[in-house]
Amino acid sequence: MRSRQRMFAAVMRLLLKCLRLGRRRRFKLVRQVEQLWHYGHLCLRSLLYNSFTNGDVVLDSLFEPIYWLVDHVTRWFGVVFVALVIGLTSSVVAIVYICLLPLILQTYTPAWICWHLAYGHWNLIMIVFHYYMAITTSPGHPPQAKNDLTGISICRKCIAPKPARTHHCSICNRCVLKMDHHCPWLNNCVGHYNHRYFFSFCLFMTMGCIYCSISGWEMFRDAYAAIERMKLLEKERLQVAANQTYYQTPPPTFSFRQRAFHKSVVYLWVLCSSVALALGALTLWHAALITRGETSIERHINRKERQRLQKKGKVFRNPYSYGSWDNWKVFLGVDVPRHWLTRVLLPSPHLPHGTGLSWDLPSCVMEQRAPLLAI
């Protein structure tokens, strides 16, 4: 009896020791996991901590692979986009000369013929000139030597001087003076030296598309109705031909030349109307930016700065804005009244105000503000 009690007591003591040992090991394992979790969390926070981190920074980080893909695709497909612009514009011009111009010369009055010839060719010359200059003109880049400029920041990607209003283009992989954006349809950055060419191209292209859409509206209606009539007659012809022998099949109602003419007019009107809407909206957007004296990039920077100062009860003032009218004069390079004709309404390769490295008050603005300063 006693031996059984001793054996039972020994088994119970052994079981208690095992439970205590298992509990200690379990607590030790849980404690190690908690330590590893806190250590990893601390390392992650120390690596990602930034006092400037906000929702925009997080979104930019998440979309960084997409930005990389867009940058490389835009860089390689820029030539394709330029060829597409040239091809579509050439197709519209060819349709106008081959299909519409003979019809205009036969049906319009001499006054309207002179108007269409004068305005159409002037608009075409302005489009070709400004698009060529926007593609071939360098937007401007800051000098690489650090001793040439003082009191400016350094680009973190180029490790080179970065003057005011200069930004780094990830597609061109270099800094651009007064950068507005990288345009894939130009395969070039829009900056200080070609910003006027870009906007003028958008403006005159929009004007040309609106001109083609308005002047070709009646032709488009007739051509569309003719195409619908072709389809209807084609169905009737096939139905009749199904009940006849092969040699009794009636000839086509419309010739190939007539079909091509009507389809070309429809293509011309649809393309010009679509481009007029899309490019017109872009032109109005850039016109509003020019009126405020800022670029597309500066709009976002100024908006954040305006909100920051508004919280402090202060008012933000754009240091590069001289007033709506003066902003347009500075942008277009209008120094005297005759420049509205020679530099705006006619092709002109004149340079913009300033070098893009410093932003002194232009002479046209100084002359207009001199009486106010004198008072």
The whole domain housing 123 covers 62-355
List strand residue ranges (DSSP E) for the chain, in order: 153-154, 161-162, 167-169, 174-176, 181-183, 188-190
Assigned domain for 266 exists: yes
d(CA 130, CA 136): 10
pLDDT attached to residue 372: 36
Q: pLDDT class for 258, splitting at 50, 70, 90?
A: confident
Residue-wise pLDDT for 152-161, tens only, equals 788 888 888 8
The total domain count for the chain is 1
pLDDT attached to residue 26: 58
Query: Is pLDDT above 70 for 248?
Result: no
How close are the terminal C-alpha atoms of the chain, in Å? 123
Query: Is pLDDT above 70 for 309?
Result: yes
Gyration radius of the chain's alpha carbons = 35
What whole-number percentage of the chain has pLDDT above 90? 42
Query: Is pLDDT above 80 for 357?
Result: yes
pLDDT attached to residue 259: 86
Helix (H) / strand (E) element for 368: namely: helix 363-374
Residue 220: CB partners within 8 Å, gap ≥ 6?
265, 266, 268, 269
Query: Is pLDDT above 80 for 332?
Result: yes
**Catalytic sites, residue numbers:** 183
Q: What number is the average pLDDT over the span 315-327? A: 90
Assigned domain for 43 exists: no
Is the pTM here over 0.85, yes or no? no
Assigned domain for 44 exists: no
Query: Is pLDDT above 60 for 35?
Result: yes
Concatenated DSSP letters for 119-157?
HHHHHHHHHHHHHHHHHHS------S-TTS--S-EE-TT
pLDDT attached to residue 369: 45
Query: Is pLDDT above 60 for 185?
Result: yes
pLDDT attached to residue 103: 87
Assigned domain for 86 exists: yes
The answer to whether 134 touches 201, Cβ cutoff 8 Å, is: yes
Which range, of 66-80, 262-276, 296-310, averages the lowest pLDDT? 66-80
d(CA 89, CA 124): 10
Assigned domain for 194 exists: yes
Q: pLDDT class for 49, splitting at 50, 70, 90?
A: low
d(CA 258, CA 101): 16
Assigned domain for 224 exists: yes
Assigned domain for 369 exists: no
Assigned domain for 28 exists: no
Q: pLDDT class for 279, splitting at 50, 70, 90?
A: very high
